[in-house]
Amino acid sequence: QGPELRFDGKVVIVSGAGGGLGRAYAHLFARHGANVVVNDLGIIKTKSGAQLKAADVVVDEIRKAGGKAVANYDSVEDGEKVVETALKNFGRLDVVVNNAGILRDRSFLRMTDADWDMVYRVHLRGTYKLSKAAWPIFLKQKGGAIINTSSAVGIHGNFGQTNYSSAKAGIQGLTSTLAQEGAKYNIRVNAIAPNAGTNMTATIMPPEVVEMLKPDYVAPLVGYLAHDECKDSGKLFQVGSCWVSEIRRQRTTGHTFLVSDGIKPEDIASKWRKITDFEDGQAHHVGSARESTMEMLSSIQQAAASRKKKSKSKSSNNKD
């Protein structure tokens, strides 16, 4: 184990940090020396019936533990106000953790426009707005880290979550592109797909699983991704309990038809097994959109060249 990864003098915004995962991240950053902006618009009802601002509760906890934190109560849709809180109180910004989230689960048939828009607004637009407000600061100081929150549901889909899964998949696209735009300015952007027992999941998980999936187990990955020690960007990690992994896509080698012959639905049908074969030992990861196109073009050129070679040797065999 190396030296402790510290954030002394750094300023970190954690959205939706009034509970669940965000609260655990805020505590971790504060313990490691960061100045933390605890953003949350939520209200907590105490047993006595009093209503407290969720962000205030977490800020109090952090301060009592000797850390430095301020609260912000704006929606992530007002990202610029959240960033303003960081600048006003701490004078700089180094890390943004886009974590705030809500669910409006319904089967696609029953989903209303309001369910769709609400989930999109908090997850995808909120991530966009907060990142957009932080971006010029990161560009100017030539450094910064953004950690976005996707979900296994954004990767695999899940019944009743068309709104949530597509917003979470959108966050993956946003992460990949921002990572590329930020690369030459030393801005790193990664995404995580967490699993944790929180308000969001407690109703659908048995208590013993909730206990195993403590938000505190997810926080160290977010801490590492936010730290200068981490050089990765544009990646997606899955994390839950004490398990951490990276996830990426694969594609099959596919089949290359000859441009000179054209291509019909029947040709696709005849090669379907090859097109969808992940088990031939050739399926592989493609690193970028450019690489993706280059590989496709080179397969087409190779196929054409090999046809040319074959017909040449055929005609020379015929001559012999």
Residues with Cβ within 8 Å of 219's Cβ and at least 6 positions away in sequence, in order, are 21, 24, 25, 27, 28
Give the distance, in angstroms, between the CA of residue 99 and the centroid of all CA atoms in the same chain.
10
Residue placing its CB nearer to ligand NAI in the complex, 39 or 131: 39
- Residue 81: C-alpha distances to residues 21, 60, 93, 108, 143 (Å): 22, 21, 13, 34, 21
176: contact with ligand NAI by CB under 6 A: no
What does residue 98 show for φ and ψ, rounded to 5 degrees?
Answer: -85, 105
Name beta bridge partners: 284.
251
Q: Which two tokens stand for residue 41?
A: 């618009």
Does 75 contact ligand NAI by CB under 6 A? yes
- Cβ atoms of 93 and 82 within 8 Å: the answer is no
Stretch binding ligand NAI (CB under 6 A), from 72-80, 128-136, 276-284, 299-307: 72-80
Catalogue the active-site residues.
Answer: 164
Q: Pick one of 178, 196, 222, 236: the residue that binds ligand NAI (CB under 6 A).
A: 196
Nearer to ligand NAI, 105 or 295 (CB): 105
Site string for ligand NAI, 37-56 (x = CB under 6 A): --xxxx-----------x--
Among the listed residues 122, 137, 178, 191, the single contact to ligand NAI using CB under 6 A: 122
Collect all residues with Cβ–Cβ distance below 8 Å to 136 and sequence separation of at least 6.
Answer: none
Among 192-200, 275-283, 298-306, 312-320, which window interacts with ligand NAI (CB under 6 A)? Answer: 192-200
Provide the binding-site residues for ligand NAI, judged by CB under 6 A. 15-16, 18-22, 39-42, 54, 75-77, 99-102, 122, 126, 149, 151, 194-196, 198-201
